[in-house]
Amino acid sequence: MILRILKSNNLSNLFFIPIAVLAFWAGKIFAPFTYSYSPGEAKNVLYAAINRWIGDLPLLSVILSAVFVVILAVLIEMIIVRYQFIRIRTRLPAILFVLIVGGLTSMHSLHPVYFAAIFLLLAIFRLFGIFDIAKAYTVVFDVGFLLGVGALFYLNLFAVVPAFIVGVFVLGRATGWREFVILIIAFLLPFAFAYSYYFYTDQIDLINEVIVQTITGSVSTLKGNLFLQIYLGILVLFTVLASIDIVAHYDSKKVSSRKYFTVFFYIFIFSIISYIFIPATSQEMLIIAAIPVTFLLSNFFVFLKSKWLGELFFALLLTVVIVMQFLG
């Protein structure tokens, strides 16, 4: 019953998003905290000034993280509406994103990854626009530049750039080396601006230190956190089931939908690779990984033939997220 209501295209479902965010963030609003940043994380070029402003305001930090999740959910809704790669009109992706992030209770405080995720979604929105278009140089430049700006908030966003390079070749028509070069140059351009500013203000050593710390610092929040491990295990299980379902019905989908889901697959793979192999990467990268997982699970729940099984799976996910509010 719950899934049937939430996966409909009813406009009232959009009101569920802020209500759900308020419910999942309520515990942290009454007991606010500031995220424990890894070395260099709070000093990222475009985030440093923001952190200086709210660093000592934990309640504001929690509230802003909730606001950003609502914004990200709206952007996800915009991508669904614009490209319609899930053939049935549904509000479920935006709701599922709120649900997934709601279970990551340690991320219910402001973090630079939320800013980066906005630019990531804008880059996805632009990237999908090049489907079957030849020589989409302007769009490719926009994609690279958006990722570059996002990386100035959260440096480890660079880890998903290869997924967008693959995406350009998957979605575009008659693409070649020019698109690759344009995307890389556009991605590096915001860094060139940042280095110019730091050079002008004689702070080159500072930005170099931040980059080194952000990439090489060692952080581990998963080890020893049993409840988070269980939650992620359930998400992995659903992701595997959804992936199997996608493969099984791959030929029945539109060509564009197949390619969009292929791009999401690569974004997910590279975000998980960075989570595993980049020492300084922690739970914040799960916010990035949650974006492709959201679209994948939405497709799974929308087209699952067994209604009672869909309701059971969704109820399990919802139950675990609720439990995480008390034990996560």
- Taking residues 151-163, report their average pLDDT: 95
- Taking residues 54-60, report their average pLDDT: 91
How far is 231 from 317, CA to CA, in rounded Å?
9
Q: Which residue has the tokens 């260099």?
A: 40
What is the reported pLDDT for 202? 85
What is the reported pLDDT for 43? 86
- Taking residues 185-205, report their average pLDDT: 92
pLDDT band at 60 (very low <50, low <70, confident <90, very high): very high
pLDDT band at 218 (very low <50, low <70, confident <90, very high): low
Bigger pLDDT: 225 vs 37: 37
How far is 155 from 37, CA to CA, in rounded Å?
13
What is the reported pLDDT for 133? 83
Token readout for 65 is: 């993280």
- Taking residues 8-23, report their average pLDDT: 84
Q: Which range has the worst mean pLDDT, 78-82, 165-169, 324-328?
A: 324-328
Q: Which range has the worst mean pLDDT, 10-14, 52-56, 147-151, 209-213?
A: 10-14
What is the reported pLDDT for 219? 66
What is the reported pLDDT for 138? 94
Neighbour count for residue 77 (Cβ, 10 Å): 20
How far is 136 from 326, CA to CA, in rounded Å?
48
The neighbouring-strand residues paired with 134 are: 173
pTM for this entry: 0.94
Is 263 within 8 Å of 167 (Cβ atoms)?
A: yes
Token readout for 113 is: 């990854």
Tens-digit pLDDT profile for residues 123-138:
999 999 998 787 889 9
- Taking residues 4-11, report their average pLDDT: 77
- Taking residues 142-152, report their average pLDDT: 97
Would you give the DSSP letter of residue 47? T
Using the predicted structure, report yes or no on whether residue 118 has a pLDDT greater than 70.
Answer: yes
What is the reported pLDDT for 85? 83
Q: 243-247 long-range contacts, Cβ below 8 Å, gap at least 24?
A: 243/296, 245/299, 245/300, 245/303, 245/304, 246/296, 246/299, 246/300
Bigger pLDDT: 36 vs 295: 295
* Mean pLDDT of the chain, nearest integer: 90
What is the reported pLDDT for 295? 93
Token readout for 111 is: 């973090």
Would you give the DSSP letter of residue 278? -
90-94, 209-213, 250-254 — most confident range? 90-94
The percentage of the chain sitting over the pLDDT mark of 70, rounded to a whole number, equals: 97
What is the reported pLDDT for 220? 61
What is the reported pLDDT for 223? 67
Using the predicted structure, report yes or no on whether residue 222 has a pLDDT greater than 70.
Answer: no
